[in-house]
A and B are shown apart, each in its own frame.
Chain A
Amino acid sequence: MSTASVKEQTVPRPPKNKTPKWQRMSFMGYLSLVLVTFLSVFPFYWMFIVASNGTDEISKIPPTLIPGPRFFTVISHVYEALPQFNQALLNTVYVGTVVAVAQVFFSAIAGFAFAKLNFRGQRYMVLFVILTMMLPSQLGIIPLFMLVGWAGWIDTLLALIVPALVTAFGVFWMRQVIDAQVPNELLESASIDGAGVFRAYWSIVLPIIAQSSFVLGLFSFLATWNDFLWPLLVLNTPENFTAQVAVNQLKSSYAIDYALNMGGAFLSTAPLLVLFIFVGRRLVRGVMDGAVKG
């Protein structure tokens, strides 16, 4: 890329300036990235600092900035305050996995139909999906609460799973992905070879979109893991809590015990950070692939 533009330059320049000026990376650019990195990571670091030092060590000027020795004491206090904390983490993994798998499956088949099939009303259906994405998600929360109560799902994990099985966002995202990644020619030649819609989907579309499906699943999992208000409304007994409700429980039972709260927050965040180490790059690609360009 840079060599191509160098060719265009007729004025001879010293070798140091081979790269056009607009492409050179400035010191300020790196500085801003380092600053952003610091700001992005600091709250996580601080969570650990408070959880490992205790509230007293933090409540002085200047506060401690290095990890302390009390981490396991604080964590044991978390488990004393809420013995079901591990159960809550397991519940969250369970709900998140089910929701992620379901959302990917339903979004992929609908996205495929919207991207590659021609059927009457298709245009209006896509428009409908896009319009529903713009509706505030909290608008229907009261009737949804009534509906879930009527179905007998209050205080069960079903209340979290069933309403979350499909999302308009997932369908829209998958439509964009399939439209961009699956060439029509491949599907055409498959159908000339006698493949039906199911066969074409299974043997051509699925392998191509596997990566993107994984990314959508990860985002669904993260969103479910971090969902806070709805679980708080429908779950009552500690055995059924999700991680967020469990952390919130610590908050209400000990008004200003920062170490306890941050210990809980740390326990509920650490699994995500570990997951992120493995999948972070894929998530970045997923965000960028799904972006509206132009």
Chain B
Amino acid sequence: MSQATVAKTGKSKPPSPWKPAKPNKKLNNPNAVLSLNGRWGYLFTAPFFVMFLIFGLAPIIYSVYIAFFNWDALGTQEFIGLANFTELVADDRFWNALVNTLDIWLLSTIPMMIMSIGLAAVLHNPNLRGSTFWRTILLVPNITSVLAIAIVFGQLFGRDFGMINIIIGALGFEHVDFIQGTTSSHIAIASMIVWRWTGYNALIFLAAMLAIPGELYESASLDGANKWKQFIYVTLPSLRNTITFVLIVGTIGGLQVFAEPLILGGSYNGGDSGQFSTLTLFLFDQAFVAYKWGYAAAVGIMITFIVAVVSIINFFITRRLAGDGK
């Protein structure tokens, strides 16, 4: 597969997900096979667009609509303008959920990025033995359900007989009540996310590292760069797009985290004092416990807005950090 990619680069660059194909006055698709009748493209993409419009886009648009209503499951439908949003901005539960979500996101993203790039660097070594085995093992955590794994982690983080507290106790420290504490519960949730996604992201980074031309390393080592300098000056800059991609995908997922806290707490509250309530958990609490659909829809729009803002910030920070040259 990597051969196919390399062979292709001579002809045209692989499509970048960040920008549509280069503007070309004549062609809509510069890579297209022109001898095939392009009009069939409408038929081939129609099933996707029709189904997506009905079950994907229409619900999203409708949810923007009902955000301007006092709308509940029993049938109340009263237009209230921006009242849901002003109520939301004054709602402590919303800010609590936002802070928790960002905290969990930071606690999971930073260690995960460092560990997955590090693991990929280890796997990138051509002298590694059993590379297929190690690569396969990395994907094992990713195939299980969050539910099953949250049950296991919930027990491992238990106050009295959880393995982690037994180890903490054996080291001579007091047991930590992970679920009851704010930061400690965030650590427990973040550890589930890290456990699940580190290997997967390591494989993504490994694929990107394997696509870096070997000559870059050879000339770097001729210039006397050691392993660490090669990593900093050759590997990392080459991973710029991949880091951006992983970070943005991780942000979209991370800011919507709900399954782990939902199972850990056993309810939509996010713990007895909402100590690990997250934005999406708050949305579900309003939608399917309080049945305030208009209010919940407003929460959903705020989540979208926050995800967009954080993604854009990420995009520019990684561009700058990885040295775009401009």
Contacts and interface: CB of A to CB of B under 8 A. Distances in A.
B133 to A, nearest CB: 9
Interface residues of A, number: 123
B236 interface: no
B302 to A, nearest CB: 10
Contacts of A107: 48
Interface string B229-264: 010000000101110010010001001101100110
A273 B140 CA distance: 8
A4 B58 CA distance: 57
B55 A147 contact: yes
A115 to B, nearest CB: 7
Contact of A262 (B57, B155, B258, B297): B155
Contacts of A171: 45, 48
Nearest to A275: B143
24 contacts: A41-B140, A44-B144, A47-B151, A62-B166, A63-B161, A106-B47, A116-B36, A119-B28, A124-B20, A135-B304, A140-B58, A141-B284, A180-B5, A191-B33, A200-B33, A228-B145, A229-B262, A233-B288, A251-B263, A261-B151, A269-B144, A287-B139, A293-B242, A294-B208
Given A117-B32, A119-B39, 19 more contacts: A19-B127, A40-B199, A41-B140, A43-B149, A116-B29, A117-B33, A122-B38, A134-B307, A138-B300, A140-B63, A141-B287, A142-B300, A171-B48, A265-B147, A276-B139, A287-B207, A288-B203, A288-B204, A292-B245
Interface of B: 1, 4-5, 8, 14-15, 17, 20-21, 27-29, 31-42, 44-45, 47-49, 51-52, 54-60, 62-63, 66, 118-119, 122-123, 125-129, 132, 134-141, 143-149, 151-153, 155-156, 160-161, 163, 166, 169, 195, 198-200, 203-208, 210-211, 214, 217-218, 221-222, 226-227, 230, 238, 240-242, 245, 248, 252, 255-256, 258-259, 262-263, 266, 280, 283-284, 287-288, 293, 296-297, 300-301, 303-304, 307-308, 311
The list of the 8 closest CB pairs from A to B, nearest first, reads A140-B59, A118-B32, A143-B59, A288-B207, A113-B44, A226-B145, A265-B148, A291-B207
Interface of A: 1-2, 4-5, 8, 19-25, 29, 32-33, 36-37, 39-41, 43-44, 46-47, 50, 58-63, 106-107, 109-110, 112-127, 130, 132, 134-147, 162-163, 165-166, 168, 171-172, 175-176, 179-181, 184, 187-188, 191-192, 196-198, 200-201, 222, 225-226, 228-229, 233, 244, 247-248, 251-252, 255, 258, 261-262, 265-266, 268-269, 272-273, 276, 280-281, 283-285, 287-289, 291-294
